[in-house]
Structure 1
Amino acid sequence: MNTRLFRQASFLIILIIVSGLFIRIHHLGEESLWLDEGHSIRMAKLPVSQMVEEIAANKHPPVYFLALHGWISIFGDSEFSVRALSAIFGVLAIALLYQVASLLFDRTTSLLAALLLALSSFNLFYSQETRMYSLLTFLSLGSMYYFIKWLSGGKKWASVGYLVFSTLLIYTQNFGFFIILAQNIYLAGLLLHPRSRSGTPLKSWIILQSLLILFYLPWMGILIKQILTMDSGSWSVPRPSWKGLLYSFKCFSGSFWLLGISLPLAFYGVFPHPAGGDRGREDVVSARVITDRDSERICFLSIWLLSLVLIPFLISQFGSSIYVHRATVLATLPWYILVARGINRIRFRYLRLVIVIVIIGFSLFSIKEYFIK
């Protein structure tokens, strides 16, 4: 990318991040804390040893509560303060999604994906809530970022980054395991593909996954106990319906109107370009892409998305219900990249501009509705 394009991209991503920050701190401390937020604060105020004991009897791992414990000790426990931690991770996620998308596609797609996240009323809700889902979103992006870097050849630091983010991820919320599952499904697909098998570092990946299991061993027994008791009492999760699945995608988009726009764009983004590449491929921000083949990048995003939505949904249909609507916030990330790619593949410049303006307008309306409610 030349200097002018780099400056333009830098200006636009800064503008998007600042806009996302403004939206996330707007009215941040005005609403009273609700039940789950109060639970988070109560847990975070306990001495660390007692906190870990109580968390072990709960359904969530400890990282978020430990982070909130340290945050409250420095900044206090006002409504604004305790929610600000989630807002910060929500803003950082915008910047990190831009970086992840840049490893896969061109500059414009990356900017559009970041814009969709910045204006997402669904993500806004969790960025203004004293719960772990904003942190979970940020950590899942970090895990995916270093996974892609690792596949691209940056073994040493990418391995360290991957282990740090992935360990924190699965110690934050159990749904984080579906991110690890998506990575393993994709890598297994590469191993089964004759053209990709030779370049896939299987031994290194086995070592990484073994270390991840090793780091999680202290909590493994607690997780097993939680799984065995998940259908009892207040831990029971309602079995999702197909209508509920559609509702999740409506939330990803912001409204049914936006879903009507986003869904065809996402499908358009899924299908490989006839020429095997993207329009404006010369604008790629980073030379480190997950693959030179367009179909494999799309396959990666599809696995990422479906592992967080369809797999939990199917498990919930045939086994214990684990489909937690709020945890599907992680699926918004590949969804926004696919929608952004669909927009960027439209060849008519003014049509692309109109679509972006319409999406911004509907998104701002959804945000307005969110603040009114």
Structure 2
Amino acid sequence: MTAVFKNSRLQLGFLIVLGAVLRLLNLDRDSLWLDEAISYLAAGLPVAQIANNTVQSSHPPLYYFLLHFWLKLIPNSDTAVKLLSTLFGILLIPAIYILSQQFFKNRTVSTTAAALTAVSPFHILYSHELRMYTLLMLLVVGGTAAYTQARQKQSSDRWLAAGGLFLLAVYTHLFAFLALAGVGLHALLNYGQNKRAFWTTVAMTAVILICFVPWLNLMLAEADPALGSLRPLQQATNFNPLKPITAPVFLLFGMSSSFWYSGLILFSFFAYGIIFLMELRKIERSQISSGLRLTLLIIICVLGVPLGVYVVRPYFLPERTLAAAAPFLIILLAWGVTRRQSPLPYLTGLATLLMVIGTISYHLGPMVKPPYRSATNHIVENAQPEDLVLHTSDGSYLPALRYAPQLNQGVLAGDPDPRKPTAVYTALGGQVYSLADLETVANGRFWAIVALEHSIEWQQTQYDAIAASHTLLDEQEIGGIRIFLFEQGTK
């Protein structure tokens, strides 16, 4: 028994090292993009402004608080800055191992879940992202593990740990409430077996809700919900019938850049789902383990509720916002190795192979984000001290504030689909200018940066208006980002 334990510990240690290597590799390759720049700039504000949600982020402030103090400890490089998310991503590997072991008491399942997490393209991609998603997943997994132990041991310490971790999770991302709902449903469905655990879960959830009220009041009090924290819910979009399929696939396999890879991952996803349902029907209801039931409930709540609302009323729902479900999809996939008399173990093996291929493609492939760092460095190297740098989109404006805060920069007013209110742009260190302002704020020369991420037709119209009345001195394109140098008013 001791030898088996040591072997399992060695396997987990190897997977943690492998996952760390895959997450540290190419950490500096991509520039920060719009959302990451918001994270960086928000974290650079004083603590009081983070707490007041000065940047009107749609996410609660815990990650920004942690990043604020992290920035005080590390060098100001993209590698060092992103390392916080990477550390959370590495810690997620043993966390999923521990949770899987609690659920199934099967080291093969636990090791498989840890291995899938270590090589998952999705988990590696967001370990490279200066956003809160790896922290969210770590806290939800930790909170679920504490809840599971609390039910088994009836330990007040474990209940406090579960409540504390889920409180931190909801202060990281609003969709953590959906994972908490899955836990609550689990306690309800097992009411007859453990009434005390149900009422303790109810009390824990009530305390979390009470503690979240200050942030909820802050969000609801924003003057313009369509541009503030509630913007994603306010922003209607065209219905994509494939989203209920692409969302869970993305949470397992990340992005796909080739037709054959997309076909294989869709095949493995559908095949596993169909055979899993067939296997589930073979198991008597009383034989479905508590861990498997909790896994399914969290997946249903975190994926099913947002996607159900999306089907009824399409809204802005990026797949990454469903990240709290990703660890439980991994655990469900790992559970397949227990069904020896079915194709599930082979499909789990195929999924693992496809994840490895996806991760290799990610590391060997081109950058996945626009090269804002290179574009900004070009301007820094060629700009004169008096030059104005005018961005037609906040997609380039906010990353440029991160890479060159010393420049006189502004974003063009009038965007029909702005990402933030004007007050946020100025709070982050720049300005908002209209085309008419060029006559007074520009001093001879100015730069126009066109990054066509959104409002493409409007941005092109603004550029045409600038080019019609000013002399073009130079033009560059770096990774799709167009950089123009104009002489003011001489055309």
Instruction: State the TM-score, normalized to the length of structure 1.
Output: 0.85
Deviates more, 1:9-18 or 1:327-336: 327-336
Between the aligned partners of 2:352 and 2:314, the Cα distance in structure 1 is 39
Aligned with 2:210 (options 196, 214, 239): 214
Aligned residue number for residue 294 of structure 1? 288
Instruction: Show CA shifts across 1:274-328 (max 9, x none).
Output: 5769xxxxxxxxxxxxxx8425433221111111111111122335736331112
Between the aligned partners of 1:157 and 1:246, the Cα distance in structure 2 is 39
Between the aligned partners of 2:157 and 2:223, the Cα distance in structure 1 is 34
Identity of aligned residues (%): 21
One-letter code aligned to 2:243: G
Between the aligned partners of 2:6 and 2:48, the Cα distance in structure 1 is 49
What secondary structure sits across from 1:219 in the alignment? helix
Between the aligned partners of 1:155 and 1:188, the Cα distance in structure 2 is 19
Between the aligned partners of 2:55 and 2:193, the Cα distance in structure 1 is 41
One-letter code aligned to 1:167: L
Instruction: Show CA shifts across 1:34-69 (max 9, x none).
Output: 122111111111111122223573211110000000
Aligned residue number for residue 356 of structure 2? 364
Aligned partners of 1:266 and 1:341 also within 8 Å? no
Count of aligned positions: 352
Unaligned runs of 5+ in 1: 278-291
Return the index of the structure with the highest Cα Rg.
2
Aligned partners of 2:251 and 2:326 also within 8 Å? yes
Aligned residue number for residue 256 of structure 2? none
Between the aligned partners of 1:329 and 1:216, the Cα distance in structure 2 is 21
1:165 aligns with 2:165: yes
Aligned partners of 1:253 and 1:259 also within 8 Å? no
One-letter code aligned to 1:229: P
Aligned partners of 1:263 and 1:339 also within 8 Å? no
Unaligned runs of 5+ in 2: 254-260, 367-491
Q: Considering only aligned residues, what root-mean-square deviation do their CA atoms show, in Å? A: 2.8
Between the aligned partners of 1:237 and 1:7, the Cα distance in structure 2 is 53
Higher relative contact order, chain-length normalized (CA < 8 Å, sep 6+): 1
One-letter code aligned to 1:315: V
Between the aligned partners of 2:221 and 2:108, the Cα distance in structure 1 is 46
Between the aligned partners of 2:236 and 2:79, the Cα distance in structure 1 is 30
Aligned residue number for residue 297 of structure 2? 303
Between the aligned partners of 2:77 and 2:182, the Cα distance in structure 1 is 38
What secondary structure sits across from 1:242 in the alignment? coil
Instruction: State the TM-score, normalized to the length of structure 2.
Output: 0.66
Aligned residue number for residue 265 of structure 2? 258
Between the aligned partners of 2:328 and 2:274, the Cα distance in structure 1 is 12
One-letter code aligned to 2:166: S
Instruction: Show CA shifts across 1:127-146 (max 9, x none).
Output: 10101111111111111111
CA shift, 1:217, in A, is 2.5
Aligned residue number for residue 41 of structure 1? 40
One-letter code aligned to 1:298: L
What secondary structure sits across from 1:129 in the alignment? coil
Between the aligned partners of 2:290 and 2:332, the Cα distance in structure 1 is 13
Deviates more, 1:321-330 or 1:63-72: 321-330
Between the aligned partners of 2:272 and 2:72, the Cα distance in structure 1 is 45
Aligned residue number for residue 60 of structure 1? 59
Aligned partners of 2:225 and 2:231 also within 8 Å? no
Between the aligned partners of 2:283 and 2:348, the Cα distance in structure 1 is 25
Aligned partners of 2:102 and 2:291 also within 8 Å? no
Structure number with higher helix proportion = 1
Structure number with higher strand proportion = 2
Instruction: Show CA shifts across 1:261-280 (max 9, x none).
Output: 24433554553495769xxx
Deviates more, 1:325-334 or 1:132-141: 325-334
Deviates more, 1:149-158 or 1:65-74: 149-158
